[in-house]
Copies of this chain bind each other. A is one copy, B any other.
Amino acid sequence: MPLVGESVARIDGVGKVCGRAQYVDDIFMRDLLYAKVFRSTIANGRVKRIDTGKAKALPGVEAVVTFEEVPGHPFPTAGHPYSTDPSHQDVADRNLLSGRIRLYGDEIAAVVAVDELTAEKALRLIEVEYEEYPPILTVSDALKEGAVEIHANTGNVIKKTGYELGDLAQAFNEADYILEDQFKTSVVQHCAMENHSAVAYVDAQDRVVVYTSTQIPHICRRVVGQALGIPWGRVRVVKPAVGGGFGSKQDVVVEPLAAFLATRVNGRPVKLELTREETFIATRTRHSMEYAFRSGVKKDGTLLARKAHIFSLNGGYASHGHSIGAKCSGTVRVQYKQKAVACEVSTLYTSMPAAGAMRGYGIPQVTFALECHMEDLARAIGMDPIAFRLKNFHDAGFVDPLSGVKAHTCGIKECIEKGKELIQWDKKKQRFRDQSGTKRRGVGMACFYYGTGTWPVGLELAGARIVLNQDGSIGLQIGATEIGQGSDTVFTQMAAETIGIPLDWVHVSSEQDTDISPFDTGAYASRQTYVSGWAVKKAAAEIKNKILERAQRMKDIPAPALDVTAGWVVYKQTGEKLLSLESIALDCYYNTAAAAPITADVSCNIHTNAFAYGCTFAAVEVDLATGKVDVLEIYNIHDSGKIINPGLAAAQVHGGVSMGIGYALYEQMLFDPKTGKPLNNNLLDYKLMTAADTPDIGVAFVETDDPTAPFGNKALGEPPAISPAPAIRNAILDATGVKINELPMTPQRLFEAFRQAGLVGQQGGRQHV
């Protein structure tokens, strides 16, 4: 009964469409109170005076808490596993509330009231006086002599790292051609459908309980414990259904404050739900980055030398700190082979919203720069950009010299072949050769590689528990979190296939509870199918063995002669049915002489990684007169190893590509350069892709079979968002000859570039084309 590899329907699909899934906002409790945060209206400065007297006096207000009343110790927020090595721990740079204002909307005080309206009224009664400093919004703002330090004694540098491999000077010397480029990527926001939201209370055993929309319940538990300064065991975090995360909920944003406020109102439940406006500025963003690339190549297209400088703007708090910047430097080193390579990355504090994890964890950023640069290099030496990439892309067997991770499988060549075929690359290249008029068409492509999970940098630990129910079905508990991506469904497939039962005999506990759910670090780094999949497979195999042992006991037939198929124990040789799983389960539960319910409670510590690969091919039409880009066709092709569920995998790709197109063309958080005030932190002014804006997306998979994975599978969740932007940029270049090196490629930016390139006149307009 093959189930892994089949496009089975989401186990929660119909239920979610029917409104049966329960999110944080579906949690109601007796005596529920509502919290609102009093936020700064300056981007950099400090509170000189705060007066909450009038707010406290408002009827219905249960508590007003300011930065002066929160624990004095700082805590970290990143959704990384804890490390016992202090040098590996996340940056602890924030308090629950702060009088030092580090971004517009920084959290100064909080109000708890009997309803939301009263809480909002109370916010307006709080009086505050600031001392204001100039906002720090750029690399030069942050690093210039005498810049105000966002956090004391940092020089506004969270961390700076670098490496040099090989003799860089010598390699550049050997080059026939050297190209230098600069790129910029923008601040964007995850815009998950569900904003950050948590309900916290103190339970009958004096423990702090937090229901929250999170990707990382077990990590959240630890951070809440750290933030409140209580033993972690006294914290319980529960994750109900989650309406999307994309990395924004791989950070512990609202939970510590909600928990702390609950302790300030005698343990009564407190709901802290951010508005969309708050989610934009007070959760996390994708880092904007600036890149300087210098590469040397031989005439034959051999890449010899590369040096990259990257600055990553992290906003007012460290969040994931330098991890994302450091990961970017890996792409410079790993994606293409080169004799010598050097990279230097700095992660800086600014007065912007804190940047953190976002689908791709820095790789969509650096890959934009890299794949634009590769395109330009190929053009510079007059080589076909695809051939140039293929010549230099690393192969199966490649070992990253720094991490030691080996590429066991590599399907990038097949991905590119498939992409070329799907978009009819050669035909279009031919057709688009000589164009005139306002509207120009072009094709472009870009490649990527992406690691699966975090080993060897991070801990990779996953757990699963399976219980055989009385009817022969199983209950499956995992620590891994369903956040909309379909993980519960693929774990169901894995468990059903491994044991030998129908799909609907698997009942997944979709709600993680840190008191109960097996430990798993959570949903990030496209790790769950790869890492947590091992735990599910191991637990399911253990259940199957125990079933066969019980069957042996019941029928006195050796377990090795038996197998499980379609919910029956059968003779392995003949397939003849021997015992239904229901009869075995009933015997396990109710045989008074020898009752022993069958369970498996396992944990897997994974010490492997696997590189996923892929590429995007895009065909665009550019209107020179308006700067508008239409994506006519787009294909996103992946080597993600064996595909567990092609239908769900395609859905992941659709979402990721849509996000990638938005990143390429529309999305950018804007800030007033004078004040640092966000200008478009809402879904009206922030141009998020909608279904109407999204072209048909072509999806294809090149299935390799990775030996390190539980089912041959590799990362898929994040990769679709990586390569669309550079592919579109390269298609625009193909159409217009103009290099756009900064995201997003808005009409304004394109129009200015076209004008500069002489494609349109100084006044713009069609007549000059």
Contacts and interface: CB of A to CB of B under 8 A. Distances in A.
A519 interface: yes
A203 interface: yes
A26 B269 CA distance: 12
Which residue, A207, A592, A596, has most C-beta atoms of chain B within 10 A?
A: A592
A15 B233 contact: no
A279 to B, nearest CB: 21
Interface residues of A, number: 77
A203 B595 contact: no
The oligomer's copy count stands at 2
A12 interface: yes
A595 B605 contact: yes
A89 B593 CA distance: 17
A430 interface: no
Contacts of A595: 459, 461, 603, 605
A603 to B, nearest CB: 6
Given A233-B507, A595-B461, A470 B82 contact: yes
A461 B84 contact: no
Contact of A516 (B202, B232, B472, B516): B516
B12 A507 contact: no
Given A203-B15, A205-B507, A232 B605 contact: no
Given A231-B471, A590-B82, A477 B516 contact: yes
A515 B505 contact: no
A166 interface: no
A132 interface: no
Contacts of A461: 589, 595, 597
A566 to B, nearest CB: 15
A233 B473 contact: yes
B507 A597 contact: no
Contact of A82 (B26, B201, B586, B603): B586
Contacts of A82: 470, 586, 589-590
Nearest to A28: B28
A97 interface: no
B83 A475 contact: no
A15 B206 contact: yes
A510 interface: yes
Interface in A13-40: 14-16, 18, 20-22, 26, 28-30
Nearest to A17: B204
Interface string A499-517: 0000001011110010110
A587 interface: yes
A624 interface: no
Which residue, A29, A455, A590, A594, has most C-beta atoms of chain B within 10 A?
A: A590
B601 A465 contact: yes
Contact of A20 (B202, B456, B469): B202
Nearest to A516: B516
Interface string A648-671: 000000000000000000000000
A507 B236 CA distance: 10
Given A222-B470, A234-B507, A20 B267 contact: yes
A455 B20 CA distance: 42
Given A20-B204, A470-B82, A601-B465, A515 B519 contact: no
A224 interface: no
A14 B274 CA distance: 33
Contact of A232 (B11, B15, B206, B469): B469
A573 interface: no
A219 to B, nearest CB: 11
Nearest to A463: B597
A225 interface: yes
Contacts of A601: 465, 599, 601
A665 to B, nearest CB: 35
A469 B233 contact: yes
A241 interface: yes
A603 B592 contact: no
Contact of A81 (B30, B222, B510, B590): B590
Given A205-B15, A205-B508, A590-B81, A473 B231 contact: yes
A437 interface: no
Contacts of A458: 592
Leading 10 A-B pairs by shortest Cβ distance: A15-B204, A233-B473, A28-B28, A233-B469, A231-B471, A601-B601, A21-B204, A595-B605, A12-B204, A233-B471
